[in-house]
Amino acid sequence: MPYLTMSDGIKIYYENCGDGETLVFCHGLNSSHNANKELYDEFRDDFNILIYDQRGHADSDNSKIHMNIQRLGQDLNEIIESLNLENVTLIGHSLGAATIYSYVNQFGCDNIKRIVASDMSPYIRNDGWKGGIKQGEWNDEDFMQDFDRIFDDAGYASYHIFKNIMNPEPSNISQEDEKHFIKSFGDSVNTLTMASLWYSLFRTDHRPAMEKITVPFLYLMPEHPLYSTEASDYIKEHVQGSFVLENDFPGTTHALWSQMPHEVAETIKKFIKDF
């Protein structure tokens, strides 16, 4: 299995294949390179694609230090430099988009051609603005309760967040499905990873980084987004390059990549063609 060793010794699993322009995909919290394969497969014939597991996820090393969004941005930079990639298009979902914001904040856009962000605010905390998580409704006490649940049972905590933040109709989840979701989340979630990165997301404000984005930017918004238009409007008003908002994804939630992989891929391909 191919790995890259980061400057702090953590090994990051990656897959790199195909010819053409380079697309780097950054997955979300508690996800992995194994998720969203249908989306990735849409690009394999025409692009050089790179997918990898963020530290603390799947086949990459678990880390007891440097578990924060700043470090994820550094990892992305080290991956790009180690593989001698140039003029890449960065494509991130949720935490993956936050990783891209962190990268830009630290390293700028000199080696970046385009950015695609899927349903991710530059600041998820709702303290004085309504561009944060759950369309501005998730308050600080909600976050603190999240941490209590994570340290008690990370699988259940993941399910609770999914049910109460990401699902537009939480009452429609049956008891049988609930048990399945909790077990599935529990089998894949690392408690330290989830707690550390959830806290770091809560504490990290990337709004100032938006002005450092000098390349074309595509924002993908599902029909039922985690973040309101206040977040996407802020990005639009502050990026220095072109901004495109695409939100014609009927019936979708935060899990947009897995719900409409073909439509998402076609939207990204059009953006690449146009810019």
Domain membership flag for residue 50: yes
pLDDT interval class at 152 (50, 70, 90): very high
- What is the tens place of the pLDDT at every residue in 174-230? 778 778 778 877 777 889 999 999 999 999 999 999 999 999 999 999 999 999 999
In order, the DSSP letters of 251-268 are T--TTHHHHSHHHHHHHH
Distance between CA atoms of residues 52 and 209, nearest Å: 24
Please, what's the largest Cα pairwise distance for the chain?
50
**Residue 37 is part of a domain; what is its CATH number?**
3.40.50.1820
> Residue 183: inside a domain, yes or no?
no
Domain that holds residue 129: 3-135+205-274
**Does some domain include residue 199?**
no
- pLDDT band of residue 163 (cuts 50, 70, 90) is confident
Q: Please indicate, yes or no, if residue 35 is contained in any of the structural domains.
A: yes
When divided into structural domains, the chain yields a total of: 1
Cβ atoms 225, 135 nearer than 8 A? yes
Percent of the chain surpassing pLDDT 70:
98
* Residue 178 belongs to some domain of the structure: no
Q: Judge whether 187 lies within some domain.
A: no
pTM: 0.95
Those residues whose C-beta lies under 8 Å from the C-beta of residue 207, and which sit 6 or more positions away, are 122, 123, 234, 238
- Tokens 């593989």 label which residue? 83
Does the pLDDT value for residue 171 go beyond 80?
no
- Per-residue pLDDT tens over the stretch 107-118: 999 999 999 999
Q: 238 Cβ partners below 8 Å, 6+ apart?
A: 207, 210, 211, 213
Confidence of residue 131 (pLDDT cuts 50, 70, 90): very high
pLDDT given at position 75? 99
**Mean pLDDT over each residue of the chain, to the nearest integer:** 94
- 161 falls within a domain: no
Q: Is residue 170 part of a domain?
A: no
